């Protein structure tokens, strides 16, 4: 019987050579002999964890260096005996190391039975006999840990909208679907980062001066924040598809703001107000002609996700206060002026603005797992964009109130906007590696 088992076990899939394996007195009594299931897969352990543990080792097994140990359920008596015999187990641990030789891998693998041999408990009759493989038994199921962590993060994200559960305008039931749609369609509103190469009479500096001036116009007319971001988006999308002479660039700006107001505002400024604000450089007919040209060039597509809609959601996920909101708005408006920031997607600009504002005010890196899950951007992904924002923040503070960021700096230097322009930039981010 013993030779037959040796012959069969040497041909198993793992290539273990099992010599002198004893199954106790049950193998001697034919009537009480247990059925060996899956005899061709004896070397593979498919025992549910942690329902089974090592069986006790008998005196005969102590003499046999190739003995295998089984597993059994944990009981109160067994746990108590483990605590009592723990010291003896560690003292005798070197004397109870049983080598298992693997012919397939050519390595000597050790299975260490610590304190289970001294418990004196018999193995449960319902427990299946099994054999150890060359892989260690995991103490914690990592997959279950990840699932639990994701469930906790999902619960945290659901808590974001609890305060608006009674607000029908917050559309709590659909807000996650809405932002999923924004993420899928945000690229449709993006433009090439080098579209100025197709313009023959304007450049990046002229665009920056125009947008900085429009920020002042937006502030004086007391328009909504959505209107400003949509205005800049309409300008870039139009200039990416239409060449414009220098003298018409300001006309493009005021017309884009008129269209954005019609889409976002309840009370729309009249055309005469826009003509006056542009020092009467254009007539009413010119504004209407440019409006017709722009809507046809853009194919009447005004509904695009801008950085502002993403930033509102991300600020809510970050549980930000008023100070972080104002600094995030200041940083992202600085980015509106900068042509080179067109290479980033609106969602990344929004996430990087929130991250940079938090780092500036706290003085250290701050990006929680819940915010990362909501934005779908990690700190490493945001670092390049955030460094550029820190650079703009630093330069805008050093400049006199002239240049490309003049109106943005003036706007956010007032008490109404929390003097966000006077805050210290997060310079330590510039020393970090991407």
In terms of domains, do 282 and 244 share one? yes
Decide if 186 contacts 179 (C-beta within 8 A): no
Our count of domains for the chain comes to: 3
What does pTM read for this prediction? 0.65
The answer as to whether 22 is a domain residue is: yes
How long a stretch of residues is the chain? 434
Across 14-23, 28-37, 340-349, least confident range = 14-23
Which of 272, 297, 322 represents a domain boundary (last residue)? 297
In terms of domains, do 397 and 317 share one? yes
Looking at residue 190, its pLDDT comes to 93
In terms of domains, do 113 and 198 share one? no
In terms of phi and psi (left: phi > 0; alpha: psi -120 to 50; beta: otherwise), the region of 215 is: alpha
In terms of domains, do 6 and 102 share one? yes
In terms of domains, do 312 and 426 share one? yes
Q: Which two tokens stand for residue 229?
A: 């971001």
The answer as to whether 94 is a domain residue is: yes
Share of the chain above pLDDT 90, in %: 45
Share of the chain above pLDDT 70, in %: 62
In terms of domains, do 291 and 221 share one? yes
In terms of domains, do 391 and 285 share one? no
Which of 297, 332, 367 represents a domain boundary (last residue)? 297
Place of tokens 């100070």: 323
Residue 101: helix, strand or coil by DSSP? strand
pLDDT digits over 362-410, tens only? Answer: 888 888 888 888 899 999 999 999 999 999 998 886 654 445 678 898 8
Which of 264, 279, 297 represents a domain boundary (last residue)? 297
The answer as to whether 145 is a domain residue is: no
* Residue 334: pLDDT over 50: yes
Residue 186, domain CATH: 1.10.472.10
The answer as to whether 136 is a domain residue is: no
| Cα 399 from chain centroid (whole Å) | 36
Query: Where in the sequence is the domain holding 387, given as residue range(s)?
Result: 307-431
Residue 98: helix, strand or coil by DSSP? strand
The answer as to whether 124 is a domain residue is: no
Q: Higher model confidence: residue 196 or residue 132?
A: 196
Burial class (CB in 10 A: 0-12, 13-18, 19+), 191: middle
In terms of domains, do 214 and 240 share one? yes
The answer as to whether 144 is a domain residue is: no
């Amino acid at each position: 019987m013993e030779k037959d088992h040796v012959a069969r076990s040497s041909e198993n899939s793992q290539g273990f050579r099992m010599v002198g394996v004893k199954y106790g007195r049950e193998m001697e009594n034919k009537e009480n002999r247990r059925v060996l299931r899956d005899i061709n897969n004896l070397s593979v352990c498919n025992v549910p964890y942690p329902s089974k543990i090592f069986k006790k080792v008998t005196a005969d097994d102590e003499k046999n260096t190739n003995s295998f140990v089984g597993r059994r359920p944990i009981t109160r008596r067994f746990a108590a005996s483990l605590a009592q015999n723990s010291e003896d187990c560690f003292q005798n641990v070197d004397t109870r190391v049983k080598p298992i030789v693997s012919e397939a891998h050519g390595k000597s693998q050790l299975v260490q039975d610590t304190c289970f041999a001294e418990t004196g408990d018999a193995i449960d009759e319902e427990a299946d006999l099994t054999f150890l493989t060359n892989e260690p038994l995991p103490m914690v199921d990592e997959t279950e840990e990840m699932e639990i962590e994701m469930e906790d993060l999902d619960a945290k994200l659901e808590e974001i909208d609890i305060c608006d559960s009674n607000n029908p305008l917050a559309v709590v039931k659909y807000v996650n679907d809405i932002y999923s749609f924004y993420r899928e369609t945000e690229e449709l509103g993006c433009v090439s980062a080098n579209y100025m190469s197709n313009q023959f009479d304007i450049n990046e500096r002229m665009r920056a001066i125009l947008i900085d001036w429009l920020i002042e116009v937006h502030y004086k007319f007391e328009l909504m924040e959505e209107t400003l971001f949509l205005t800049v988006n309409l300008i870039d999308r139009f200039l990416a598809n239409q060449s414009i002479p220098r003298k018409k660039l300001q006309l493009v700006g005021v017309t884009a703001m008129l269209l954005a107001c019609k889409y976002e505002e309840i009370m729309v400024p009249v055309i005469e107000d826009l003509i006056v604000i542009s020092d009467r450089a254009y007539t009413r007919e010119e504004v209407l002609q440019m409006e017709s040209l722009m809507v046809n060039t853009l194919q009447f597509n005004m509904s695009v996700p801008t950085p502002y809609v993403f930033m509102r959601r991300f600020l809510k996920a970050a549980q930000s206060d008023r100070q972080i909101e104002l600094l995030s708005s200041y940083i992202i408006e600085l980015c509106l002026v900068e042509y080179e920031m067109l290479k980033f997607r609106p969602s990344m600009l929004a996430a990087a603005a929130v991250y940079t504002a938090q780092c500036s005010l706290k003085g250290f890196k701050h990006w929680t797992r819940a915010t990362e899950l909501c934005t779908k951007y990690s700190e490493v992904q945001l670092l390049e964009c955030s460094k550029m924002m820190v650079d703009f923040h630093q330069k805008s503070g050093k400049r006199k109130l002239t240049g490309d960021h003049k109106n943005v700096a003036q706007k956010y230097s007032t008490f109404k906007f929390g003097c966000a322009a006077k805050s210290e930039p997060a310079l330590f981010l510039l020393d970090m590696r991407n």
